[in-house]
Structure formats: structure tokens, C-alpha cells
């Protein structure tokens, strides 16, 4: 029913849907099948996040989380922090958080806390481990359910400590990563952040920070990686998926991730360099680049007259 309602405003050359919270590859395939039925055509590039082997792209599952860490890696370079000295606390235990944790540890960093929503208790918990959370434990069968709830008995067997849901925010780490839902860091809890240690605030979620909280974080001099740069890895590989669908030729996983790394690094550096040049906030620099690109495009088409 949903596909039939939006059929006229979506399509491989119009607007391409991608997965988000609460969806999985099967959902995306159902959307594709319905679109094909209505259009009486075969256009797998109409929707992304599909299962591998049915038009999906290798690397799509890891893409958002890995992209977050590529941005963190570049930030740490600018701040002169060795990745092996990096510690992180992550809010969320869904797809983005899982693969952020995995790549962060692969680079030599340590994730000391991760939070989740407990679908049974209807409340959030933080699970912490001073020696570091092993991504293999986090991604092991039975650790997480389909809602991203961590099994407390599994956590206990791994040596993880269960704490209050907001405890992730106050950990003594140098990288803080909200990777769940929007508007979770507010004026009511922003000062729980340990500003003595936190140097990087990576917005892996969409709009996780309210305007009031953002002003506090900015004033404290924390390096903020804005959400629409930080979490762009997923939509980037969705674009790759569409390209591969159109070619009917599929890249190996290493090639997908190499291309993702290059694009994320270039995008991050464009923002970081402009922020340094203009001596402005990174979020402002990101918006400025986005607006300039749109202005250039519409100006080139004669829709508006560029200012002289």
C-alpha cells in the first residue's frame, strides 16, 4: 500500500528510498517487488539496502558505522591524538552503533561503553567495560535481539557492567558517539558530558543534539562532526548500490569500502578545511558547503542570478 501511494514521486531517476530504523533488507525487497509489479518493469536501483544476491551491495551493512569511524580517524589526526589512545562511549546498539564499535576497535581504539533500549524492561541501559567492549561479543549470536536490545545475561558473561541508560554520556572518554535517535542530548543532560576528557563529538545519529545542547558543546571547544557528514556512509553506499544495479556489475567488498573511505575522507576534509579557513564552527562550515553547492547548481541552470 505504501509503495502504491508514493509511486509517482519515487523512482530510480527521481528519489530512491533507503533503509532506516526498524527496516531490514527483506523490507527493502518487498518495496522493490511491489514497485516492479506496478511499473511492469525491473528496476532494482529504485530502492537500496537490499539483500546481497538480490541487487544489494556488499559493504552496505557496515557502511554507516564505518563511515562514522573514517570521520573520527581524520578528526583525531587533526587533533594530534593517536587512534590507539582513543576511547569511546556509544549511545545505541543498532546497526550504526555495532559497526562503529567494530571499526573503532579495528583501528586500535577502545570502546568502554555502549547503551541500548531494553524492549522487555521498557527502559535504557548502559553496558560498560573498562578493558573495552569486544565487537565479536557484541555481534555474537544471541547478544542482540532484532530491536537492538542487549541480553543482560550475555553481557554479564562478557564482564560488562549494567548501568543507568544515561551513563554513556558521562564516561571519561575522548570520543563521544550518539548513534541512536534524535534529540537525545539536550540542555537538561548536556552538562553530564565529561568535558575534561571529551575532545570529539561524532553525530552518528540524525539530529541527536538539540540547539541548546549544541551551543554548550560548541562553547566547550569540543570538535563536532555534524550528523549529515558523520553518518553519510550509509547513503553513500546506497548510491553505490544504485550504480551497481544500473551497471548490473557488482564490486567486491574491499572496493566498496575503499571508495566509501575516499568519499567520506574528502567530504570531512572539505568541511574541516573550510572551518579552519573561515574560523567557524564545523556545523556552520558543513551547511555553508551544502548551500554553496545548491546555489551553484541552480545558478548554472539560470534559476537564480548569482551575486557579483
Domain with residue 162: its CATH number is 3.40.50.720
Q: Collect all residues with Cβ–Cβ distance below 8 Å to 62 and sequence separation of at least 6.
A: 99, 102, 103, 257
Overall average pLDDT of the 262-284 stretch: 97
- Per-residue pLDDT tens for 214-243? 999 999 999 999 999 999 999 999 999 999
Distance between CA atoms of residues 174 and 80, nearest Å: 12
For residues 135 and 23, membership in a common domain is answered with: no
For residues 43 and 110, membership in a common domain is answered with: no
- Per-residue pLDDT tens for 7-24? 888 888 888 888 887 788
Distance between CA atoms of residues 185 and 210, nearest Å: 6
pLDDT at 1: 78
Domain range for 40 is 1-56
User: In the chain, what percentage of residues exceed pLDDT 70?
Assistant: 99
Distance between CA atoms of residues 280 and 273, nearest Å: 10
Overall average pLDDT of the 110-131 stretch: 96
Residue 203: CB atoms within 10 A of its CB come to 26
pLDDT at 72: 99
16 within a domain of the structure (yes/no):
yes
303 within a domain of the structure (yes/no):
no
**Angle at CA of residue 55, ends 53 and 58, nearest 5°:** 65
For residues 11 and 145, membership in a common domain is answered with: no
- What CATH number does the domain containing 52 carry? 3.40.50.10860
User: In the chain, what percentage of residues exceed pLDDT 90?
Assistant: 80
pLDDT at 15: 85
62 within a domain of the structure (yes/no):
no
**Domain termination residue (choose one: 221, 250, 265):** 221
31 within a domain of the structure (yes/no):
yes
For residues 48 and 82, membership in a common domain is answered with: no
**Domain termination residue (choose one: 221, 244, 271):** 221
Residue 120: CB atoms within 10 A of its CB come to 10
What order do you get walking across the sheet with 223-225 strand by strand? 161-164, 123-128, 110-118, 87-91, 175-178, 200-202, 223-225
46 within a domain of the structure (yes/no):
yes
The mean-pLDDT minimum among 125-129, 145-149, 246-250, 288-292 falls in 145-149
Predicted structure pTM score: 0.93
Cα→Cα distances 103→8, 32, 120, Å: 39, 30, 29
Each as own residue / partner, the long-range contacts of residues 17-23 (CB below 8 Å, 24 or more positions apart, any chain) are 17/46, 17/47, 17/48, 18/47, 18/48, 18/49, 18/234, 18/235, 18/238, 19/48, 19/49, 19/234, 21/94, 21/181, 23/49
For residues 161 and 203, membership in a common domain is answered with: yes
For residues 45 and 89, membership in a common domain is answered with: no
pLDDT at 308: 64
Amino acid at each position: 500500500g505504501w509503495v502504491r501511494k508514493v509511486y509517482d514521486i519515487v523512482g530510480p531517476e527521481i528519489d530512491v528510498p533507503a533503509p532506516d530504523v526498524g527496516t531490514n533488507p527483506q523490507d527493502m525487497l518487498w518495496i522493490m517487488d511491489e514497485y516492479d509489479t506496478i511499473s511492469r518493469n525491473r528496476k532494482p536501483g529504485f530502492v537500496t539496502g537490499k539483500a546481497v544476491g538480490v541487487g544489494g551491495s556488499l559493504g552496505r551493512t557496515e557502511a554507516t558505522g564505518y563511515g562514522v569511524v573514517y570521520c573520527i580517524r581524520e578528526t583525531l589526526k587533526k587533533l594530534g591524538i593517536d587512534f590507539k589512545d582513543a576511547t569511546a562511549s556509544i549511545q545505541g546498539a543498532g546497526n550504526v552503533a555495532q559497526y562503529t564499535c567494530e571499526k573503532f576497535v579495528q583501528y586500535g581504539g577502545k570502546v568502554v561503553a555502549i547503551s541500548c533500549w531494553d524492549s522487555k524492561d521498557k527502559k535504557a541501559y548502559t553496558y560498560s567495560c573498562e578493558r573495552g567492549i569486544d565487537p565479536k561479543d557484541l555481534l555474537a549470536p544471541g547478544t542482540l535481539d532484532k530491536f537492538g536490545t542487549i541480553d543482560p545475561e550475555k553481557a554479564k558473561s562478557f564482564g560488562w557492567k549494567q548501568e543507568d541508560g544515561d551513563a554513556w554520556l558521562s564516561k571519561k572518554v575522548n570520543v563521544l558517539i550518539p548513534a541512536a535517535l534524535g534529540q537525545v542530548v539536550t540542555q537538561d543532560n548536556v552538562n553530564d558530558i565529561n568535558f575534561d576528557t571529551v575532545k570529539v563529538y561524532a553525530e552518528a545519529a540524525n539530529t541527536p543534539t538539540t540547539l541548546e545542547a549544541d551551543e554548550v558543546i560548541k562553547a566547550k571547544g569540543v570538535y563536532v562532526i555534524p550528523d549529515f557528514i558523520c553518518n553519510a556512509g550509509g547513503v553513500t553506499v546506497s548510491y553505490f548500490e544504485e550504480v551497481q544495479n544500473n551497471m548490473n556489475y557488482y564490486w567486491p567488498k574491499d572496493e566498496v569500502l575503499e571508495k566509501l573511505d575516499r568519499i567520506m575522507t574528502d567530504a570531512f576534509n572539505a568541511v574541516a578545511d573550510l572551518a579552519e579557513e573561515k574560523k567557524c564552527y564545523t556545523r556552520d562550515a558543513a551547511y555553508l558547503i551544502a548551500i554553496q553547492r545548491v546555489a551553484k547548481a541552480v545558478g548554472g541552470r539560470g534559476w537564480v542570478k548569482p551575486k557579483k
